[in-house]
Amino acid sequence: MANEQTLEVLSRLIGFDTTSVRSNLALMAWVQDYLSSFGVDSELVYDEAKTKANLYATVGPVNKAGVMLSGHTDTVPVTGQNWTHPPYRLTEENGRLYGRGTADMKGFIAVVLAAVPEMKAANLQTPIHLAFSYDEEIGCLGVRRLIETMRRHPVQPAFCIIGEPTGMQVVNKHKGKLAACVTVRGQACHSGMAPQGVNAVNYAARLIGWLEREGLKRHSEGPFEEGYEIPYSTIHTGTVQGGTALNIVPDHCSFLFEMRNIAAEDPRRLLQQLRDLADDLVTDMRRVGPDCGIDIEVTTEYPGLSTAEDAEVIAFVRTLAERDTIASINFGTEGACSAGSWRFPRSSAALAAWTRGTSRMNLSS
């Protein structure tokens, strides 16, 4: 079970409703005050509307590269879910902690913050950087602004550990994602005169059927990438909305789909193929309705992550986590957005120096 300080911090974090549609500024103000009480300065990087912010702070020397510990502050909604405990109040029961975000991922942030007094007392020779972001759950949006700001800093972190819930497995890769909204504009008429209209639902169904067939093709033919529970790219349609009444040929239909791609596939190729098919369908639609059309808008996109198994950073994190193995996950993280921005020291001597600099910090308890 977590120690008393971690529980106290986690209780405060859970108390803030930071669902992605809401602001996280109240939580960030609390974190800034908390860090300031231990003499740690922090920087906020806002979104355009200044309703949300990322936070960046350094414990230890600011003129050296260091280890970055990263987590997102936003959570997914609780609407329509049958919670047996209050989602925004930490509850302990039978050795378990309940509350929205306890695992994903305020629990990690609480562990990191609870360790700040120990970090300060350790007289660190290698700094520990803290990076807390907004809007990870809706496409890793906030961290992109944070990365751009950090690139202007004179000293960059050497590498980043993201505390997503993996059961303490050391994860070195995950799939990328491309999500898009497809809007079909047809031509309405009475259903008794259906041939004089353009059924937007039917044309949307053709596109959805094509996406399903492409997904099935990857299931049977690949390409495949070992290490994943599902070792191929997946294609999924999540929502469909269209039509107003059964006796009216629908003039509108929209749907959302996504592709979770392995490294061997470029999701933009699938997107272009879908657009080519849509162009062909529009030509057919406009034979009846000249104002018909199909719009495809990318709503979310982030790359996959792939860190070499023999990279020294993997050996380093295995030591911290006391794990001999590595794993792959099917969900995305902010790690892919910053991959390649920082480089871990290559020599074994440097690795030993990093280990000595951070071994007193047990951030996995």
Q: Which of 104, 135, 136, 225 is catalytic?
A: 136
CB-based contacts of 71: which residues, under 8 Å, 6+ apart?
105, 106, 108, 109, 112, 131, 132, 133, 162, 163
Alpha helices, H only, 95-243: 106-114, 116-121, 142-150, 200-221
Decide: residue 252, CB within 10 A, 0-12 exposed, 13-18 middle, 19+ buried: middle
Name the one residue in this structure whose structure tokens are 């759950």: 137
Please give the DSSP secondary-structure letter assigned to residue 363.
T
Q: Which of 17, 74, 164, 265 is catalytic?
A: 74
Q: CA-CA-CA-CA torsion for 327, 76, 91, 118, nearest 10 degrees? A: 60
| Annotation marks residue 74 as catalytic | yes
First-to-last alpha carbon distance for the chain, in angstroms, is: 8
Please give the DSSP secondary-structure letter assigned to residue 193.
G
| Annotation marks residue 312 as catalytic | no
Secondary structure in 3-state letters for 208-263: HHHHHHHHHHHHHHCCECCCCCCCECEEEEEEEEECCCCCEECCEEEEEEEEEECC
Distance CA 191, CA 181 (A): 27
Decide: residue 202, CB within 10 A, 0-12 exposed, 13-18 middle, 19+ buried: middle
Contact of 299 with 181, CB cutoff 8 Å: yes
Amino acid at 41: D
Distance CA 252, CA 246 (A): 13
Per DSSP bridges, beta strands 96-98 and 53-59 are unpaired
Catalytic sites, residue numbers = 74, 136
